Structure 1
Amino acid sequence: MIRYDEAIARLLACVSPRPAESCTPPAALGRVLAADVTSPIALPSFDHAAMDGYALAAPEPLEPGSEHVVHGSQAAGDAVRHAAGGVWEIMTGARLPDGLDAVVAVERTELLAAAPDGRPTRIRLLDALGEGQNVRHAGVDLALGAVALAAGVRIGPAQLMLLAAAGVRELAVVRRPRVAVIGTGKELVTDPARVLGDSQIYSSNAPYLAATLVRAGAEVVTCEVVDDTTDTYVHALERARSIGVDLVVSTGAVSMGRYDFVPEALRRLGAEVLFHKVAMRPGKPLLAASVPDGPLVMALPGTPMAVAAGLRFFVTPVLRAMLGLGPETVLHAVLDTPQQPKAGLQHFLRANFHLGADGRLHARVMPQQQPFRIVPFAAADGWVVLDEDAGDCAPGRVVQVASLDPETGLAIGPEPAGGRA
């Protein structure tokens, strides 16, 4: 049995980023950039008005009270105009006519004369106006050829807005890690429309894994349940290897009982076992192995919270490394509930979070931590992580915390009734 930090180090030593592939920006949502994206245009691409008003030439400051003839009007999308001095009515976002370099807001002018159709023909300035005032200059947001997004950035809606504004048509992204999910157990029923027989249960680990893996950036290629025999597990692994998956995540049959056949199956395939059993709770029997000319295998115990902890704290770091992402930022909170963790074990505890009156994030460890319980997990905001040497933890201690889902961030609920425990 090894410590958590040693297990993670062994895992990550076997992992490298997946190769790059090209895609269009709309198809890149949730993907990780494999190379910098440089802008093919400047943003903005021309000098334009920051507000509705009048464009003028003001190489020297114009005085309040000065009067000016309005020569024309410029709206967003109009062709380039060449102004020989004077004033042009201008709308927000409209390109400045050539020769003009400042904009005065319409409300900071006095209309002196207008044409029969309402078009202004003469105005008076109410304030002084200088060069560049109320003008958004070309390239002030992003210069032509500048790096718009750096390699390693995960593409979200904000990044799609930038790519669209810059007219980027194609980009290089890291190929999604290809993952196979294998559940084990003859008692598992995968079809919820099927009535359970004696001693049967509905399969919940596989759907949870598949959904969370996709959110974490993986492509789930297969998701299947096999019975409690070495042969069927070996055949499932061989199928996964034949279709070129990068990672297999399996659940169950990894402990020391007579039906815990995963270690034997991996030996049959000539796999190198990186570790088997980690000093942690829940999920101590967890196993990791590397199959020759095949995938990395993460074999998680079958109890629901062992699966959840194994996925969050072992599989997630592996996927991040395969995507070329760095380690997650470590987050902390003030512990509100006393804990007496067992020495020598890394504890992953379901918890609720809230912002305290002190303005800091607080964590309340939930009372029902048994690894078979799913209801508390569905009500949790995240995890409290206590390392092997944590010792007794009194309220007020600052502890490490983590989100339930690495892609959604910490959920923060209301402060519980009665305040801090």
Structure 2
Amino acid sequence: MIAYHDALQRILQHARRLEALSYPVGEAVGKVLARDVVSPMDLPSFDHSAMDGYALHAPQALAAGSEHAVQGSQAAGDARRASAGMAWEIMTGARLPDGLDTVVPVEHTELLERRPDGSPARIRLLDAVMPTANVRYAGSDVAKGTVIASAGTRVAASHVMLFAALGIAAVEVVRAPRVAIICTGKELQADPSQPLRDGEIYASNGPYLAAALAAMGAHVLSCETVDDTGQSFTDAMRRAQRAGVDLIVSTGAVSMGRYDFVPDALAELDARLLFHKVGIRPGKPQLAAMLGDAMVFGLPGTPMAVAVGLRFFIAPLLRAMRGQAAEPAWQAVLDTPQQPKPGLRHFLRGRVTQDETGRLHAQVLAQQQPFRIQPFAQAGAWIVLPEDAGPVAPGAQVIVASLHPDEPLLGGSDPQGVAS
């Protein structure tokens, strides 16, 4: 049996970086940048007005009551103009005429004179105006050459807004990892529209893995169910190999029973075993191997062992394959005492809340048996107790993680917890 951190390190040492593909910006949301994105221009690209008013030249503060002749009017989208030392009527977003550097809001002026066409000809300042007021200067948001999004960043809609504003049409993103899922067990009924026969159960691990992996940005090429024979499993593995997958995830048949054929089948396929059995609960019989260039995870068939394998082994692997840094670890105050078994790392379903001081609190749900699915659906976080935790009293600091990969621990943004 291997410790969790040792098992994770073996996995990460064999993580193969995925190649980059060019994607149109609008199609890149949810994908991970393969390279830094550098701004090709200043943003704003020119000095412009932050509001409707009058553009002036103000080498020092302009006094209230001062009067200024107005040369013309500048609207958003108008080309560069020369100021000839006079004020200009200006609209929000309009380029400042050359030589002008300050904008006074229209409501802070008095119109003294109009031209025959109704445009302003002369104004008086009602208040003092400070230099550079109400101007958005070129490059004040983004300077040309600045890294605006680093490699490893998951592209969000907010990035699309920034890329579009900078005229960036396409970005380099990491190719989606290709995954095959193989669920073992003659008791599994994979078609929920069919009635169960005696001794059968509806398959849940496959649909869960397919949905969760797709949400993580993976391309699930297949999800099949095979019976309890090594030959059926071996055939499914070979089909996955021919499809060129990066990752094969199987469920069931990895423990010590007569039908636990996965280790022998992998040996027959000349797979290189990385580990088999990890000091964790649930999911102790966890297995990992390399089959050519593909990583193989053999997960126990119990639902929560599958969930732990995905969250704490497969998710870190996919991050490494996409060039992403490891997730930050958060700590919370435990509100429910625990008596974990010594020598095992425990992954418990629970909830995390935040008190009025911003401190995180973790509550372990009552029913932690690994076959129970409903508590998992009701949970909002994982609570992790290390191998040497011993009896854990209320008030102790514990590690917490979001229930699903790539989701915040508390809705909306990362919590203001304590990184461990």
TM-score band, normalised by the shorter chain? over 0.9
Partner Cα separation in structure 2 for residue 314 and residue 174 of structure 1 = 20
Residue 334 (str. 1) matches residue 326 (str. 2):
no
Secondary structure of 1:131's counterpart equals coil
* Distance (Å, rounded) in 1 between the aligned partners of 2:243 and 2:340: 43
Bigger mean CA deviation after superposition, 184-193 or 246-255: 184-193
2:299 maps to amino acid: L
Give the corresponding residue for 1:375. 374
Task: Report the Cα distance in structure 2 between the residues aligned to 1:108 and 1:88, rounded to whole angstroms.
Answer: 15
Q: Equivalents in 2 of 1:215, 1:116: separation in Å?
A: 64
* Structure 2 residue 167 is the aligned partner of structure 1 residue 181: no
On the 8 A contact 1:217/1:319 being kept in 2, the answer is: no
- Paired residue for 1:407? 406
Question: What is the alpha-carbon distance in structure 1 between the residues aligned to residue 326 and residue 123 of structure 2?
Answer: 60
Contact 1:355 1:412 in 2 (8 A): no
* Counterpart secondary structure, 1:364: strand
SS in structure 2 of the partner of residue 265 of structure 1: helix
Question: Secondary structure at 2:54's aligned position in 1?
Answer: strand
Structure-2 change in CA distance of 1:236 and 1:123 (3 Å): same
Distance 1:50 1:136 in 2: 6
Tell whether the 8 Å contact from 1:183 to 1:252 is kept in structure 2 after alignment: yes
Structure 1 unaligned regions, length at least 5: 414-421
CA contact (8 A) 1:347 1:388 kept: yes
**Paired residue type of 1:391:** G
Structure 1 position 211, deviation (Å):
1.3
Shift of 1:314: 0.5
Aligned to 1:70, the other structure's residue is in SS state: strand
* 1:139 Cα deviation after fit: 1.1
- Secondary structure at the aligned position of 2:320 is classed as helix
326-335 vs 23-32, which moves further? 23-32
Per-residue deviation, residues 268-299 of structure 1 (Å, max 9, x unmatched): 101111111111110111110111x2411001
Cross-structure match for 1:274: 274
User: Where do residues 6-405 of structure 1 align in structure 2 (5 Å cutoff)?
Assistant: 6-115=6-115, 118-291=118-291, 293-405=292-404
**d(CA) in 2 for partners of 1:203 and 1:20?**
35
Where 1:9 maps in the other structure, the secondary structure is: helix
Query: Which amino acid is the alignment partner of residue 389 of structure 1?
Result: D
Q: Does structure 2 retain, via aligned residues, the 8 Å contact 1:354–1:412?
A: no
Deviations 1:168-210 (A, max 9, x none): 1222112121111111111212222112221221111111111
Task: Assess, with a 3 A threshold, how the Cα gap between structure 1 residues 411 and 189 changes in structure 2: closer, same or farther.
Answer: farther
d(CA) in 1 for partners of 2:65 and 2:176? 64
2:201 is matched by which residue type in structure 1? I
Give the letter aligned to residue 351 of structure 2. N
Give 2:373's aligned amino acid: I
Distance 1:412 1:37 in 2: 28
Conserved 8 A contact 1:114-1:122: yes
Q: Which secondary structure does the structure 1 equivalent of 2:337 belong to? A: coil
Contact 1:244–1:294 (8 Å) recurs in 2: no
Quick check: 258-267 or 62-71, which moved more?
A: 62-71
SS at the partner of 1:377?
helix
Note the C-alpha offset of 1:34: 1.4
Distance in 2 (CA, whole Å) between partners of 1:16 and 1:108 is 62
1:359-405 CA distance string (max 9 Å, x none): 31101000000111111100101100001100000000010000011
- Listed as ranges, the gaps of 5+ residues in structure 2 are 413-420
Offset at 1:317? Answer: 0.7
Q: CA RMSD in A?
A: 1.6
Q: CA deviation at 1:111?
A: 2.3
The offset of 1:412, in angstroms, is: 6.1
Amino acid at match of 1:381: G
**CA distance in structure 1 between the aligned counterparts of 2:137 and 2:243, rounded to whole angstroms:** 53
**Structure 1 residues 186-239: Cα deviation after superposition (integer angstroms, max 9, x where no partner):** 121222211222122111111111111122222212111111111111111111
Q: Which 10-residue stretch deviates more, 155-164 or 188-197?
A: 188-197
- Contact persistence 1:4–1:346 (CA under 8 A): yes
SS of match in other structure, 1:158: helix
Q: How many residues align?
A: 412
CA deviation string 1:109-132 (max 9, x = no partner): 122234566533321112222432
* C-alpha separation in 2, matches of 1:175 and 1:401: 30
Q: 1:357: Cα distance to partner?
A: 4.0
2:416 — aligned with what? Answer: none
Partner of 1:418: none
Query: For 1:259 and 1:168, how far apart are their aligned partners in 2?
Result: 55
**What is the one-letter code of the residue matched to 1:323?**
R
Distance 2:146 2:344 in 1: 49
Q: CA offsets per residue over residues 42-84 of structure 1, 9 Å max, x none?
A: 1000100011111112224322110112222222112222221
CA contact (8 A) 1:381 1:403 kept: yes
Give distance in 1, aligned partners of 2:118 and 2:254: 82
TM-score by structure 2 length? 0.95
What is the distance in 1 between the residues matched to 2:31 and 2:399? 28
Alpha-carbon distance in structure 1 between the residues aligned to 2:64 and 2:401? 59
TM-score scaled by length of structure 1 = 0.94
